[in-house]
Amino acid sequence: MAKYVIIGASAAGISAVEAIREVDPVSTITVVSEEPCPSYSRPMISDLVSGKANFEKMLCRDGQFWEKNNVQALTGQRAVSLNLKEKYVVLDNGARVSFEKLLIATGGKPFVPKIEGADKKGVFTFTKLSDAESLAAEIEKAKSAVVVGGGLIGVSLTEALVKRGLKVTIVELQNKILSLILDATASDMVANVMERAGVTIVTGQSVQRILGKPEDERVVGGVVLTNGNSVQCDMVIIAIGVVPRAELVSGTDVKTNRGILVDRFMRTSVPDVYASGDVAEAYDFISGENRLLPLWPLAQLEGRVAGYNMAGKKAEYPGGTAMSALKYFGIPIISIGLVNPKNAEGYEILTRYEPEKRLYKKIVLKDDVIVGILLLNDIERAGVLFNLMKNSVNVKKFKQALLSENFGLATLPSSLRKRLYLE
Ligand SMILES: Cc1cc2nc3c(=O)[nH]c(=O)nc-3n(C[C@H](O)[C@H](O)[C@H](O)COP(=O)(O)OP(=O)(O)OC[C@H]3O[C@@H](n4cnc5c(N)ncnc54)[C@H](O)[C@@H]3O)c2cc1C
C-alpha cells in the first residue's frame, strides 16, 4: 500500500509531491500518469508548434525528479476506476493501487462538440504534448488551417500557426474573440493586430461540417459554417475549451458540480480524498464562490495546499481568481478578475484608451475596491494594482490616479504602502 496516491503528474500533481516531501520525507508516494513523458509546461505546447521551444525547454522537472523524491511513478498508465470504501485505484492494466490518502489531479480534457466530418485526417484537438507533436508533423504539408474557438488556446495556437506560415481562419461562436478575458474594446484591438498579421476572424459562427478534399474525401479540405459559407483549409483544430476530467468520481460519494468540489484545504466530500487543479472547483476570492479556474499557477498552488494537508501540515488555500498574463501578436495583456461585469449595476468602471498608442487600461471597482484589472500594452503597474485588489484595499482616496501615467507605489498613501509592502 502507498501512503499517498496521486493521479495526474502535471502542475497540481507535481506540486503536491513536492509539498508532501517537505513534510514527510519517507512514506511511499505513487503517482499514476497517463502521459508517458515527465511533467512539461502545458501552456508551452503552442511554442512547440511555432518552433520557439523544444521538448527539453518545456520540461518542468528534470529526469531525476521521481528518483530524487522517492516516488513510484506509474507513467503511461491510466486510472480507470476508484473504490473509495476499500481505498484503492484500478489501473488500465487491471492492477490495484491501495492508498491512505488520494489526490485527484486529472486536469481537463478538450471539449469536442459533435461535428460531421470530425473523424477526417487533419482534425486535431490541442491540449497535450502529443497533440502538438501530431500537429507539428502535419504543418509541413499544410497551407491553411481553421481554428475552431477564439479563446486563449485558439489564439495562442493561431499565433504559432501564423509563425509557421499558415493562413489561419478563427471561427468563434461569441461576437468577439477572447471573450472570457477581454472586453469589446480590448478584443477589437487584439483582433485588429491579428487581422493585420493575415488572420481571418469569423465571429458569431461555428463549424457545422468538415469537408473532405476533392481527391480524397477522408482528408480535411474545408469547413462549412453555420451561415452556410465555406472555408477551404488543410487542417481543422478544435480549441473550444477544456472540461474537467472528473469521470473517475462519477458514481462515488465525491460531490461535483462542473468539477470536483473542494474546500479551502482541497478536501473533497469524501474523507482522505483530495482534488486540485483544472479538475477541481476551488475558491475564487473575487466572487467568494467556488468555480472552475483552469490556470497553471492556481493548479500549482492548489496542488501544494493538497500535498501539505495530505501529509498532515494544515494549509489553507487563499483563493485564486481569473488571471492571465499573455503576449499575443506582440501585445502584452494582463487580465485579472472581473474585467467585463455582465450587469454593470453596482460597479464603477475607470478606463483610459489611447488608440494611437494602442494603449488600453481598465479598472473595475465595487464599493471602491478593485475587482477587475485589464491592461493592454502598458502592463508595468499590474503588480501594484493586483496587490491592492488581493488585499481588498479601499482606493477611494486615490482612485483617480490609478490609471494615470505616473501611478506607482509612490502614489499610495504612506501608511498603506507600509501595510502592503513592509508588514
Ligand atoms: C494549450 C494550452 C495553453 C494554456 N495556456 C495557459 C496559460 O498561458 N496560462 C495559464 O495559467 N494556463 C494555461 N493553460 C492551462 C494550464 O495548462 C492548466 O491550468 C494546467 O495544466 C492544469 O494543471 P493540472 O495539473 O490540473 O492538469 P493537467 O495539466 O491537465 O494534467 C492532468 C494530467 O493528468 C493525466 N490524467 C488525467 N486522467 C488520468 C487518469 N485517469 N489516469 C492517469 N492520468 C490521468 C493527464 O493525462 C494529464 O497528464 C493552458 C492550457 C492549454 C491546454
CA 286 – CA 364 distance, rounded (Å): 12
Q: Which residues pair with 210 in a beta bridge?
A: 223
Cβ atoms 331, 193 nearer than 8 A: yes
Is the pLDDT at 344 greater than 80? The verdict is no
Please tell me the distance between residue 122's alpha carbon and the centre of ligand 1 in angstroms.
23
Is the pLDDT at 418 greater than 90? The verdict is no
Cβ atoms 363, 386 nearer than 8 A: no
Q: Which atom of ligand 1 is nearest to the CA of 12?
A: 25
Which residue's alpha carbon is nearest to atom 4 within ligand 1? 43
Query: Measured from the CB, is residue 12 less than 6 Å from ligand 1?
Result: yes
> Which residues, 6+ apart, have CB-to-CB distance to 46 below 8 Å?
132, 156, 157, 159, 160
Catalogue the E-assigned strands of 204-322. 207-213, 216-225, 230-232, 235-238, 242-244, 260-261, 273-275, 280-284, 289-291
pTM for the whole structure:
0.94
State residue 359's pLDDT score.
94
Neighbours of 51 (CB within 10 A): 12
pLDDT 10s digits, 16-70? 999 999 999 999 999 999 998 878 999 999 999 999 999 999 999 988 999 999 9
- Of 302, 300, 280, 278, the residue nearest 290 (C-alpha): 280
First to last CA, the chain: 45
User: Chain-wide mean pLDDT for the chain?
Assistant: 95
Cβ atoms 65, 15 nearer than 8 A: no
Band of residue 415 on the pLDDT scale cut at 50, 70, 90 = confident
CA neighbours closer than 13 Å in the CB half-sphere of residue 309: 24
Q: Which atom of ligand 1 is nearest to the CA of 126?
A: 1
Least confident range of 74-83, 154-163, 308-317, 396-405: 396-405
pLDDT 10s digits, 277-303? 999 999 999 889 999 999 999 999 999
Please tell me the distance between residue 266's alpha carbon and the centre of ligand 1 in angstroms.
17
Neighbours of 145 (CB within 10 A): 27
pLDDT 10s digits, 212-234? 999 999 999 999 999 999 999 99
Grid coordinates standing for 246?
472528473
Query: Measured from the CB, is residue 18 less than 6 Å from ligand 1?
Result: no
Please tell me the distance between residue 102's alpha carbon and the centre of ligand 1 in angstroms.
18
Query: Measured from the CB, is residue 35 less than 6 Å from ligand 1?
Result: yes
Query: Measured from the CB, is residue 43 less than 6 Å from ligand 1?
Result: yes
CA 336 – CA 322 distance, rounded (Å): 6
| Mean pLDDT for the stretch of residues 192-211 | 97
| Mean pLDDT for the stretch of residues 205-213 | 97
State residue 422's pLDDT score.
63
Q: Which atom of ligand 1 is nearest to the CA of 44?
A: 3
Query: Measured from the CB, is residue 259 less than 6 Å from ligand 1?
Result: no
State residue 91's pLDDT score.
98
pLDDT 10s digits, 368-387? 999 999 999 989 889 999 99
State residue 260's pLDDT score.
98
- Interstrand relation of 79-83 and 88-91 (parallel, antiparallel or unpaired): antiparallel
- Interstrand relation of 29-33 and 2-7 (parallel, antiparallel or unpaired): parallel
State residue 34's pLDDT score.
96
With cell 449595476, the residue in question is 345
| Domains of the chain and CATH, by start | 2-43+59-109+243-310 (3.50.50.60), 112-240 (3.50.50.60), 330-421 (3.30.390.30)
- Of 138, 159, 164, the residue nearest 201 (C-alpha): 159
Which residue's alpha carbon is nearest to atom 33 within ligand 1? 8
Cβ atoms 338, 183 nearer than 8 A: no
Query: Measured from the CB, is residue 296 less than 6 Å from ligand 1?
Result: yes
Query: φ and ψ at 131, to 5 degrees?
Result: -65, -45
pLDDT 10s digits, 302-329? 999 999 999 999 999 999 999 999 998 9
pLDDT 10s digits, 137-186? 999 899 999 999 999 999 999 999 999 999 999 999 999 999 999 999 99
Instruction: Report in angstroms the alpha-carbon separations of 288 from 115, 361, 371.
Output: 37, 25, 12
Candidate from 10, 156, 279 with most ligand 1 atoms within 8 A of CB, to mutate: 10
- How many residues does this entry show for the chain? 423
Band of residue 237 on the pLDDT scale cut at 50, 70, 90 = very high
Find the farthest-apart pair of alpha carbons in the chain and give their distance in angstroms, rounded: 73
